[in-house]
Chain A
């Protein structure tokens, strides 16, 4: 049936029903009036005549009800009747209705909002065609690490050639360029892509074309713009194709523009920064000779249809053997020892690489917010239940005048659903707001490759949730009503203290469930808080305050001579140090917390234990007073000085953990190590200083061994991360460094200008996000549970006023009554807490991946939660208990 005809039939049903009702009313009134008139004519008074006529007629309402049934009134009509009746009941108790609807709206709104994130991130396919057939290929160096690496440049062609499982394989490398010639020079992120990559992913450009295979080799200066850069830098100009832009001061011709929805790379593919533009892979001669080195290329393949993951990995082992052969050949030609070099390959679905790491976090959030809704539902069921007790009389009367029992049950269901849908509608409104709040705070590691929207899937989820909720708390009172003997009830006069023990137990069960769920949420939130505290209190190994960093990448063509590079950085440092407000300045190839390169090295005289034979460390080449600027403490020996130059002995500064591992209990100063395996021909480096350990990855990761070499003793790197230490707000130094670089090279663009405080905040933002959400869910749960406890006890005190009055009349003191009610509350809470603790012990294990230095069974957290829950329950019980204490025995007894 179409929507239109359906709504027409609805309208007709309502319209016809109204007319039928009014006609029936007229007809019956006519009957009674005419009958009465006849009686009046026979001499009875008018009043008496009306009375007799009504009695003779019998039950008018019953006749109407039977009349309706006789006419075959549709189910829809009855439903409408139930709805109207339900709505009237709710209007009559606005307090109850507002509390119930708001509770539900909060629960449903929060659930819908969280689900909209889960839907966009986990449930929607990646924004590429054939997303389910895309897989990443990685290389494994069993000698170095069990963790797979990305792929070495020359191997891409080998994988393309040797595999039998992929329709096509493409690769890319993340790069940055200086974009100039148009407005303020800036650093842009770019992907150098194989010409077939967009085809592998199944994406087409918005305008123009993708790269041709002949453009893939080195030296083709063509570029495809992202939609964002096209809008930002060129104002969405229409005739952009064929124009040129300058990348690293070389002209590139724009051949295409990608769609707005296209993101590459996605988080998990490499660095999660989506590229501003794409250029051909263009492997240089040096890069083509990077055999077994520089594992920086992300490789994505589109599987042939019907290929299983197992087949892929088996095939890739053969490919790896083939690749190793090319290494051996290269080693022979270059006369370099390859040693016991082993290579493996592995493939993993692209979607699991991108969204896999987010799964535990998002599912945990969905679970937590589900708990909140469950508590909200229990609360509403509880409220409905109490109200249904107050409606026993109404039910009994309705049964007596001819309503079927089924009809009553349906009434409860309809009321439950009515409430749920009111809450759901309001919740949907809240969800819009919640979602916007979520999206604006969403950490950058959650990819937003689909807009997070309340689309049809989310609406469906909302609808299902609402229906389930309505059925849940509609059925409970209905079940209770079906067990009640209404006939007996009606006979009872007065208030009828007929709540069975079953019923009281059910209400206690509600509270227990609420408390248990709240305890579980609170424990979860508590563990996350403790982890967060631990993370914040970890020593990053440097002093982040007052430090600003920025990256400089000198274009290689203009800075082709080492002297020019060296003089640029020398002049830059001089300028910076002359700037008032800058206390120290330096540069490094990589910065703390932002990752870096691992290098293999050999320590003189060190016998490695059996197993993975290579020693690995993070390595930075530093310039100026970098260590002092970062506040990395010197523990022994010295920092680099001006004397450490190209002609002096090669020296090294090592981190404390490296020194402790390789020279335990010895003085590391004067010891020597070299890059590469033992057979390498690199020169020995002498240790002249030991500095503190620095977190190179996230704060949560272990500190790795780290080494520093002086920039002055090596060739000059074109790229350097500059660090400045000021006195006040580090952000204010940005203008200084901009001015300094511009005075030296007006075309040069600075990249990634940020304070180390920002870097730290960024590295904890995901944790902050989860914590804020789970924390507010837990707070909401606690509040709802408190309301639940309060409501149940307050109700029970009202019901037991008589009993309490009798107790007091018989000599119970107020304190006894207070204790009685408090104990009742606490007993129920205690059971809830016990169940909650058991549940938490079972569930918090799932949190493991989100915890840091806190066990899922952390006793302190459990103790705090226990105490918190107990005191909240005490407070919630206290108010009704105080009211119970004030029961006037005389009033209570007289009330009977």
Chain B
């Protein structure tokens, strides 16, 4: 396993939005999905997942619903709302622009100045 990276401030929200955009998930499922799509390269504090979920729900970007889990237990499922979808899109564009800019800056060589 590669060395895990600490999460950048504010990125957990994006990860959650992305994870649930692929289909409704319960909290533990979101954790697994993030680990899966990040190929275990990100370290997520399990305890901090839920406050983030509640915050996103409170802001109306995700919605929750009680359902039954794979192991036949009552679990709370989260799915992306329309507002959440727009938010994810905006965040993604933002992130890409930022990453581009950062990459450009960090890739600058002395002779280019």
Contacts and interface: CB of A to CB of B under 8 A. Distances in A.
A60 B48 CA distance: 10
Contacts of A37: 71
Interface residues of A, number: 24
B74 A34 contact: no
Contacts of A578: none
B17 to A, nearest CB: 15
Interface stretch (A69-77, A172-180, A408-416, A512-520): A69-77
A66 B31 CA distance: 18
A27 B46 contact: no
Interface in A23-58: 23-24, 26-28, 30-31, 33-35, 37, 56-58
Interface residues of B, number: 21
A233 to B, nearest CB: 76
A35 B31 CA distance: 10
A30 B73 contact: yes
Interface of B: 26-28, 31, 45-48, 50-52, 54-55, 57-58, 69, 71, 73-76
Contacts of B46: 31, 35, 56-58
Contacts of B54: 67, 70-71
11 contacts: A26-B76, A30-B27, A30-B75, A31-B50, A58-B48, A63-B48, A63-B51, A66-B51, A70-B51, A70-B54, A70-B55
A35 B83 CA distance: 31
Interface string A67-93: 101111000000000000000000000
A26 B64 CA distance: 14
A67 to B, nearest CB: 5
A69 B45 contact: no
Given A30-B27, A63-B50, 11 more contacts: A30-B75, A30-B76, A31-B31, A33-B73, A58-B45, A60-B47, A62-B47, A66-B50, A67-B51, A69-B51, A71-B57
Interface string A116-127: 000000000000
Among the interface residues A31, A69, A71, which one has the most CB atoms of the partner chain B within 10 A?
A31
B28 A35 contact: yes
B73 A67 contact: no
A59 interface: yes
Nearest to A23: B76
Contacts of B58: 70-72
Which of A34, A69, A72 lies at the interface centre, i.e. has the most chain B CB atoms within 10 A of its CB?
A34
Nearest to B26: A30
A507 B71 CA distance: 60
> Is chain A's binding surface mostly helix, strand, loop or mixed?
helix
A200 to B, nearest CB: 69
**Which of B47, B48, B52 is most buried by chain A, counting CB atoms within 10 A of its CB?**
B47
Nearest 10 CB-CB pairs, A to B?
A: A58-B47, A66-B51, A70-B54, A70-B55, A63-B47, A70-B51, A57-B46, A31-B28, A71-B54, A34-B28
Contacts of A71: 54-55, 57-58
A28 B75 CA distance: 10
Contacts of B71: 34, 37
Best-surrounded residue of B48, B50, B52 (most CB of chain A within 10 A): B50
Contacts of A23: 76
Contacts of B51: 63, 66-67, 69-70
A37 to B, nearest CB: 7
Nearest to B73: A30
Interface in A111-147: none
Given A71-B54, A71-B58, A30 B74 contact: yes
Nearest to B74: A26
Contact of A57 (B47, B57, B69, B74): B47
A30 B47 contact: no
Contacts of A33: 73
Contacts of A60: 47
Contacts of B74: 26, 30
B76 A27 contact: yes
B37 to A, nearest CB: 18
A246 to B, nearest CB: 86
Contacts of A26: 74, 76
A35 B71 CA distance: 12
Nearest to A34: B28
Given A37-B71, A71-B58, A27 B52 contact: no
Contacts of A30: 26-28, 69, 73-76
A647 B76 CA distance: 120
Contacts of A59: 47
A544 to B, nearest CB: 83
Nearest to B55: A70
B30 to A, nearest CB: 10
A27 B75 contact: yes
A56 B58 CA distance: 26
Contacts of B48: 58, 63, 66
B98 to A, nearest CB: 25
Contacts of B50: 24, 27-28, 31, 63, 66-67
A23 B57 CA distance: 14
A104 to B, nearest CB: 40
Contacts of B55: 70-71
A31 B47 CA distance: 10
B39 to A, nearest CB: 18
A30 B67 CA distance: 12
